[in-house]
Amino acid sequence: MNDEALNPTARRRVSAPARAAKRKSIAAKAEEWLNGAADGCYCDECIAQKIGTDDRRKVQATTIRLGTQNASSKYHGRCSLCGQVTLVTSINRNWI
Ligand SMILES: [Zn+2]
């Protein structure tokens, strides 16, 4: 069977890594991105953009949750990406 070559949809369906990425929640993606981001602080809007979602409320819920944990903080500051002064999240890498 070689339907996959002719049918891009079928091909996408068999791509396991892509499927896993799609299933990953916005919260997981936001957290992962922040953990991998360069030092700095980032607003929800930029994080949403970076992980490719329009759902800023989910991103916000994630950063609020992260901000209550010791390893990160959420505060009013200047976003390292867009330069806006707003609520930003940063990961405290020296914590551990
Ligand atoms: Zn920003």
- H or E element that contains 85: strand 85-91
Q: How many domains does the chain contain in total?
A: 1
* 44 found inside a domain: yes
90: helix, strand or coil:
strand
d(CA 52, CA 55): 9
- Of 15, 29, 38, 24, nearest to 62 by C-alpha is 29
Q: Can you give the CATH number for the domain in which 86 is found?
A: 1.10.10
* 4 found inside a domain: no
CA of 47 to the centre of ligand 1 (A): 7
* 1 found inside a domain: no
The residue type of 33 is W
Contact call for residues 25 and 61 (beta carbons, < 8 A): no
Asked whether the predicted pLDDT for residue 6 surpasses 90, the reply is no
* 8 found inside a domain: no
CA of 90 to the centre of ligand 1 (A): 12
Asked whether the predicted pLDDT for residue 2 surpasses 70, the reply is no
d(CA 34, CA 18): 21
Contact call for residues 54 and 48 (beta carbons, < 8 A): yes
* 96 found inside a domain: no
Instruction: Name the percent of the chain lying above pLDDT 70.
Output: 73
* 34 found inside a domain: yes
CA of 73 to the centre of ligand 1 (A): 15
More confidently predicted of 27 and 18: 27
Q: What is the pLDDT of residues 30-87, one digit of tens each?
A: 999 998 998 899 999 999 999 999 999 999 999 999 888 878 899 999 999 999 999 9
